[in-house]
Amino acid sequence: MRFHHHFDWDAGKAKINAKKHNVTFVDAAAVLADDQADVYHVEGYDDEHSMGEDRFITIASDPADRQIILRICWTERRIEGQVVTRIISARRATPGERKAYAKAIRER
């Protein structure tokens, strides 16, 4: 089951993110739009960065290559009556995040 359907992001932030992390927001959107999100997404609230708005973190694998695991920070917005996932940042998961992700997926 897909959890995210519509996406938005700041173009300038996307460019900086791609240069810094070598992960585009288009890549992140493809991961978030996974039709098997209920199996491959581990989502949680981002307590550390949720000051002005609620932010969430998803660690998930790329549907085209499950070996690629991303950590994506996002928030939810309503634009013209539609729920939109606004991508804030995206990068490859660290080894520790990958290990925790694999454990969470196995325990389902």
What are the domain boundaries of the chain? 7-106
pLDDT at 47: 81
What's the CA gap between 36 and 8, in Å, rounded?
Answer: 21
- What are the structure tokens assigned to 6, written together? 């519509």
Report the pLDDT value the prediction gives residue 85, as an integer from 0 to 100: 97
Each residue's pLDDT tens digit, 6-64: 999 999 999 999 999 999 999 999 999 999 999 999 999 988 888 788 999 999 999 99
**Which of 30, 83, 77, 21 is CA-nearest to residue 58?**
30
